[in-house]
Amino acid sequence: MTEQSARPTSRDVARAAGVSQATVSLVLGDKWPGRVSERTAGLVRDTARALGYRPNLAARNLRLGTTRTALLVVPALTNEFFARVYTGAAAVAAEHGFGVVLYPSPAGIGPARDPFASARAALDGVIASSMASDALDAIRGTDGADLPLVMLDSDPAAPGSAAQVNLDIADGIRQVTDHLLGLGHRRLLHLASAVPSWTFDVRTDALASAVRNTPDVTVRKVSAALEVGAAREATERTLAAPGPRPTAIVCDDDILAAGACKAVRRLGLRVPEDISVTGFDDLALSTALEPELTTVQLPAEQVGERGMAALLTVLDGQRPKTADLPVSLVVRGSTAPPPPDTARPRTT
């Protein structure tokens, strides 16, 4: 007997579980709710697992007219945040017999060529970060224009998507700002991402809103590419410029914050004694820095999980529930009250 013929079939699973092949198909095709009891569904899954049964996806897909494949479009594979998004999406996809193809937009952002001869024929849907949205023009061309699209971290008012999964970015900035103002900081430098994206626009608007009702606060904005070197250079130029020096730097993400910390040290200053620094994302980098970085923790895996779950809901003909995922400030050693000569009374 060959290896291929020795592989267990759905008939083998049905016989071992004492159920019909139709029941096995319903359970393993995730079509059982309301038609098969939970006990029976659990029995079928356990039996299939014990026998080492793996469905013939190619044959099933031909029958169903679907590929059970989703495309995840992200800015770059090297970004830890998007790697974690993929982990979450792939976990949910696997539970439903789906696969996830990860497709990075070249150079992090901008347009890209369709990686498939026909997106419509190769995919059931697309999940995309707003930072790589330009790549969608090619991927969802004429033949793929009707592919269901779930956008991650994108403008709720933007048209074209069947569902959105957003983080409460504005609240994260409010938490950072409240923390710094509470320490007594009044001169802030906003080290912003130079990437044109809705998610970074939200950071700028939220920071302006958070300081609006606090007297004597100044915010200077400087943009830099999402690179440690670019962030260091932009921060050095700003801190060395004439005029009162900022006492805290609010960074759009942890990579920019790492560059800001390097700039502070190169100028002979200290973090946080002379200048406090905050980040955004809570990447592994944030605890590799010394002192460790005060930053906003984003539930990246949940973004991926919600994105894939939303796509599955859309494919099932339903409307996904939408609610921003909460974020939380993690206070570490990179923030402290400003130097005594610049401090304001701390708030409670």
Range scoring the smallest mean pLDDT among 12-16, 154-158, 302-306: 154-158
For residue 344, name the pLDDT band (cuts at 50, 70, 90).
very low
pLDDT digits (tens, 9 = 90+) for 262-320: 999 999 999 999 999 999 999 999 999 999 999 999 999 999 999 999 999 988 888 88
What is the third-level CATH fold of 3-55?
A: 434 Repressor (Amino-terminal Domain) (1.10.260)
Q: Please check whether the two domains, 3-55 and 67-166+300-324, share a CATH topology.
A: no
pLDDT digits (tens, 9 = 90+) for 57-85: 444 443 444 678 888 888 876 778 988 99
pLDDT at 124: 83
Evaluate if residue 138 carries a pLDDT over 70. no
Tokens encoding 177: 């700002």
The stretches of the chain forming alpha helices (DSSP H) are 3-6, 10-17, 21-28, 38-51, 57-64, 80-95, 119-122, 136-139, 169-183, 198-211, 228-240, 254-266, 285-288, 300-315
The number of angstroms, rounded, from the C-alpha of 191 to the middle of its chain's C-alpha atoms is: 21
What is the CATH architecture of 169-298?
Answer: 3-Layer(aba) Sandwich (3.40)
Say how many C-beta atoms besides its own lie within 10 A of residue 209's C-beta: 13
The backbone torsions φ and ψ at residue 329, rounded to the nearest 5 degrees and listed phi first, read -80, 130
pLDDT digits (tens, 9 = 90+) for 237-270: 999 999 899 999 999 999 999 999 999 999 999 9
Q: How far is CA 334 from CA 36, 267, 274, 280, 287, in A?
A: 55, 17, 10, 13, 10
In the chain, the percentage of residues whose pLDDT exceeds 70 is: 82
Q: How far is CA 5 from CA 1, 121, 157, 173, 191, in A?
A: 6, 30, 53, 59, 61
pLDDT: which is higher, 52 or 152: 152
Which amino acid is located at 312 in the chain?
L
pLDDT digits (tens, 9 = 90+) for 40-58: 989 998 998 888 876 654 4
Give the separation between CA 59 and CA 188, rounded to whole angstroms: 60
Stretch 5-26: mean pLDDT: 82
Buried b (16+ CB within 10 A) or exposed e, 41-73: bebbbebbeebebebeeeebbeeeeebbbbbbb
User: 67-166+300-324 has which CATH code?
Assistant: 3.40.50.2300
Ordered by start, the domain boundaries in the chain are 3-55, 67-166+300-324, 169-298
pTM (2 decimals)? 0.76
Query: Could you give the angle at the alpha carbon of 337 between the alpha carbons of 334 and 339, nearest 5°?
Result: 105
